[in-house]
Amino acid sequence: MQKRKDKINRKKYHSILVIAAIAIVVLLDAGMILMPDHTSSDMENRTLQTFPKLTFSTLVSGKFESEFETYIADQFPFRNKWITLESTVSRMMGKTESNDIFLAKGGYLIQNFHTPSDEQYASLLEGYKGIAKLTEGTDITLNAMIVPTAVNIYSKKLPFGAVKGDQKAFLTQLQSDLAASGINWIDLSEPFAACDKATQLYYRTDHHWTSDAALLAYQTYNKTLGLNDSTTYSKKILSDSFKGTLSASSGLRTSETDEIYAYLPDQATDYTVSLTAENTKSASVFDVQSLSTKSQYNVFFGGNHPEVVIDSASESKKVLMVFKDSYANCFVPFLIPDYARIIMIDPRYYTEDISETIQSNGVTDILFLYNANTAAEDHSLYQLTAQ
């Protein structure tokens, strides 16, 4: 009799589990259908994938399938709460990695690096070659400053047993291949590794480098190019409540904050900043309104834009074009006294004829400035030159 009761109870228990599972699936499906798509994530400070466009070409090429998978992941109902819950459970179980982000020593969250496949690398390299080809027969100087990230420079802070990609090997290979296309390499690995340990090169909760790192990079840039470097600066804290994208996307150390600061030249050079796509002008590289948002790093230029043009009162006659990601935003202000015009191009958003832009602006120098993760993953430079 007891066995029969136990059997009935087990059936009831299993039935409840099945009904609960079905209910959860139905609710999640309903949420996907009824809840509006979000175009961006304040928590992760990035653009989210919306429902992809279905055409014959996107279906055949596999682009629709790939973007649809990303769409499901990005628009999953209550996604932020699931991320936080998953990271909390992971920490309770002793895990030191969440969403490809390491819980490292010294209060740091460090993003992993993934080595691109041979096919991906070949495509990435074609982007640089495409720009180099556009400058053939000119006197335009090409330089690349690919910034090593914290997983490389702060590798000793990683948790025991952390499995990371070989960023050093990637940068070494890229340096060699760019040299073959006439692109000079500005090495930051050595000065970063050798700098004072008290210098904070990266934010603890964000993937960006700090203004201290950008200043060191600027000094290395000048030294490599043989430029005069006599400017003195005053350091100013812009925010002491910065919570970065790594904290948000991993759900780790969500209560901790960083400082954002800037170096202001003691002898300022007058300049204007034009956002071409937005058709706006400003007399400052700083967007102080961003400090009251979750995306405080956007205090530099208000974030990323397809094209930013800086015209300065510098005595220089040189015109610099910077192909960049967001790492450039806190670095480029150091360059303002050195160039009459600086044109920042973000290939992820730029759709104009880049050859025409180079010619019409009388560009004399080109700088490729990306962090190593972007350099290894983003194909937009190739897409820009393949138009």
* Least confident window among 44-48, 83-87, 365-369, 376-380: 83-87
Confidence of residue 93 (pLDDT cuts 50, 70, 90): very low
Statement to judge: residues 65 and 118 lie in one domain = no
- CA 182 to each of CA 141, 195, 264, 281, 318: distance values in angstroms, whole numbers, following the listed order: 9, 29, 34, 35, 20
Q: In the prediction, which pLDDT does 87 show?
A: 47
Q: How far apart are the first and last CA of the chain?
A: 77
Q: With 90 as the cut, is the pLDDT of residue 259 above it?
A: yes
Strand partners, 242: 258
**Which residues contact residue 176 at a Cβ distance below 8 angstroms, ignoring those fewer than 6 apart?**
none
Burial class (CB in 10 A: 0-12, 13-18, 19+), 255: exposed
In a domain, 22, yes or no: yes
pLDDT tens digits for 178-190? Answer: 999 999 999 999 9
Q: Which of 62, 77, 92 is the last residue of a domain?
A: 77
Residues 50, 277: Cα–Cα separation, whole Å: 22
Residues 213, 352: Cα–Cα separation, whole Å: 32
Strand partners, 273: 282, 310
In a domain, 353, yes or no: yes
Statement to judge: residues 260 and 349 lie in one domain = yes
Statement to judge: residues 169 and 315 lie in one domain = yes
In a domain, 205, yes or no: yes
Statement to judge: residues 275 and 190 lie in one domain = yes
In a domain, 364, yes or no: yes
What value does the mean pLDDT take over residues 333-344? 97
Residues 274, 142: Cα–Cα separation, whole Å: 24
Q: In the prediction, which pLDDT does 203 show?
A: 97
Q: Which of 21, 44, 77 is the last residue of a domain?
A: 77
Residues 367, 119: Cα–Cα separation, whole Å: 25
Statement to judge: residues 245 and 349 lie in one domain = yes
In a domain, 44, yes or no: yes
CB 214 within 8 A of CB 192: no
- Taking alpha carbons only, the member of 312, 376, 319 closest to residue 117 is 376
pLDDT tens digits for 8-56? Answer: 656 665 566 666 556 655 554 555 565 676 665 555 555 677 777 777 6
Q: What amino acid occupies position 307? A: E
Count Cβ neighbours within 10 Å for each residue of 201-231 and write b for 16 or more, e otherwise.
bbbbbbbbbbbbbbbbbbebbbeeeeeeeeb
Statement to judge: residues 54 and 192 lie in one domain = no
What's the mean pLDDT when you consider all of the chain?
86
What value does the mean pLDDT take over residues 151-158? 96
In a domain, 95, yes or no: no
Q: In the prediction, which pLDDT does 82 show?
A: 53
In a domain, 341, yes or no: yes
Statement to judge: residues 30 and 130 lie in one domain = no
Statement to judge: residues 254 and 339 lie in one domain = yes
Statement to judge: residues 151 and 240 lie in one domain = yes
Residues 321, 26: Cα–Cα separation, whole Å: 52
Q: With 60 as the cut, is the pLDDT of residue 76 above it?
A: no
pLDDT tens digits for 275-287? Answer: 999 999 999 999 9
Confidence of residue 386 (pLDDT cuts 50, 70, 90): confident
Statement to judge: residues 25 and 112 lie in one domain = no
- pLDDT over 90, % of the chain: 67
Statement to judge: residues 168 and 44 lie in one domain = no
Catalogue the E-assigned strands of 266-353: 271-275, 280-282, 307-312, 319-324, 341-345
What value does the mean pLDDT take over residues 52-80? 65
Residues 348, 362: Cα–Cα separation, whole Å: 23
Domain of residue 73, residue span: 13-77
CB 178 within 8 A of CB 144: yes
Helices (H) and strands (E) in the chain, counts: 13, 15
What value does the mean pLDDT take over residues 156-183? 96
Residues 242, 223: Cα–Cα separation, whole Å: 32
- pLDDT over 70, % of the chain: 77
* Least confident window among 112-116, 193-197, 288-292: 193-197
CB 324 within 8 A of CB 282: no
CB 34 within 8 A of CB 26: no
Bigger pLDDT: 255 vs 156: 156
Q: In the prediction, which pLDDT does 381 show?
A: 94
Residues 170, 164: Cα–Cα separation, whole Å: 13
Statement to judge: residues 122 and 254 lie in one domain = yes
In a domain, 182, yes or no: yes
What value does the mean pLDDT take over residues 132-149? 97
Pairing of strands 307-312, 109-111: unpaired
Confidence of residue 129 (pLDDT cuts 50, 70, 90): very high
Q: How many domains does the chain divide into?
A: 2
- CA 107 to each of CA 161, 204, 378: distance values in angstroms, whole numbers, following the listed order: 18, 6, 29
